[in-house]
Amino acid sequence: MGAPKKLGTEGSATRAAMIDAAEQLIVEEGYAAITARRLADKAGVKFQLIYYYFNSLDDLFLEVFERGAERQLEQMNAALESDAPLRALWRYSIDSTDTRFILEFMVMANHHEVIRKAIGDFAERLRQVQVEAIARHLQARGVEPQIPPVVISLLVSSLSRSLMLETALGVTSGHEELETLVDSFLRVLDTGST
């Protein structure tokens, strides 16, 4: 994958329609089902226009991921700015709204180095935002954590990802108990007492 072509207008309706169509197809049918012709039909354009705006479908997929990642970052930032940021971060993390989107890009990352790198870069960026917000939250409440903020962030993301993946497969055993445990843990971090 190379850098996206700078043909056409970056903010054109045609380009946006192709990105929208690609995202919709990824969620509905999976990225492996997408061809230039299928995408063009969904976007209501001639398939040659895809290669006018993008070097390849992979470049288009990268744009879809980047747009979705920015949307997720905005949602997470809003959660972290709430009065109860740790609980909001947990609720945000276990929200299954974008599960199919996330799973498809994880699969794509196994086959496309540029997608793998984009996901890794985004995850590091997300982790840093979370760590800073967690540290601010704990400091503002005078809580001296026994667990470093980076580990709290990792625990939240790992546990929520497990729940998300299991839920997508129909596995729910132990989920309620885990959520109760996490709730207790967050209560301790919020108040500094056990």
Please tell me the distance from the alpha carbon of residue 44 to that of residue 182, in angstroms, as a whole number.
46
Q: Does residue 176 belong to any structural domain of this protein?
A: yes
pLDDT at 7: 59
Please tell me the distance from the alpha carbon of residue 117 to that of residue 148, in angstroms, as a whole number.
26
Please tell me the distance from the alpha carbon of residue 165 to that of residue 106, in angstroms, as a whole number.
11
The 10s digit of each residue's pLDDT in 99-157 is: 888 889 999 999 999 999 999 999 999 999 999 999 999 998 888 888 899 999 999 98
CATH number assigned to the domain comprising residue 146:
1.10.357
pTM of the model: 0.82
Q: Does residue 31 belong to any structural domain of this protein?
A: no
Please tell me the distance from the alpha carbon of residue 44 to that of residue 18, in angstroms, as a whole number.
8
Q: Does residue 36 belong to any structural domain of this protein?
A: no
| Nearest one of 54, 110, 157 to 40, comparing CA atoms | 54
pLDDT at 191: 63
Q: Does residue 65 belong to any structural domain of this protein?
A: yes
Query: Is 80 exceeded by the pLDDT of residue 190?
Result: no
Q: Does residue 13 belong to any structural domain of this protein?
A: no
Residue 125 is part of which domain span? Answer: 58-191
Q: Does residue 187 belong to any structural domain of this protein?
A: yes
Q: Does residue 155 belong to any structural domain of this protein?
A: yes
- Number of structural domains (the chain) is 1
